[in-house]
Amino acid sequence: MNIAIFASGKGTNFSVIARALKKGRIRARLSLLVCDNKGALVIKRAKEAGVKIALVKREDFSSKKEFESRIIKHLRAEKIGLIVLAGFMRLLSPWFVKQYKNRILNIHPALLPSFKGAEGIRDAFNYGVKVTGVTVHFVDEDMDHGPIILQDAVLIKKDDTPASLEAKIHKLEHRLYPEAIRLFAKGRLRLEGRRVKVSTQ
């Protein structure tokens, strides 16, 4: 199975996933990075990992449909079977999601359905909850909404700061995301309505 990672920024999850694939923990091939930001550090990471890069900038296209169509052209050329969103700062349209239904994963730095959106860590901290965490889920037509694959929790302690909480969240992301991809690659994820069942084999 060929995997494409979509990212717009630093690419720490990209590197963690790439290492897991290289070590054989995931039976798949990282075939493509899709990036919409020419200044993103993830591009350097992809070059160092020997991963093909598709730099597709939204401003180069007159419509979102044209932008997403160009991305799909790259995906089809590489015969991509799974899309992994890792800090891709654009919402995919329902049309795009339909093309890869149940083949797009996302990671969110909170326990969905709580604290949706781009600032999940900050929002949880500012709200004052005692527990937050990380969610890996299938992507559907709504933001941070698809069926949940894996979740795990992080305690917010009295001496935590937004920065220390972010570090905890990222550490958890780096454990959960490769595991979710591994389960998908082994065919162990089964959707029953909005619930995801993980088979033992």
Number of alpha carbons in the 13 Å side-chain half-sphere of residue 185:
23
Is residue 137 among the annotated active site residues? no
134: nearest Cα among 175, 100, 163, 164:
175
Residue 53 near residue 35 (C-beta atoms within 8 A): yes
- Residue of 74, 108, 137, 174 marked catalytic: 108
88: nearest Cα among 28, 27, 139, 149:
139
Cα–Cα dist 105/102, whole Å? 8
Cα–Cα dist 79/58, whole Å? 23
Catalytic residue annotation: 108
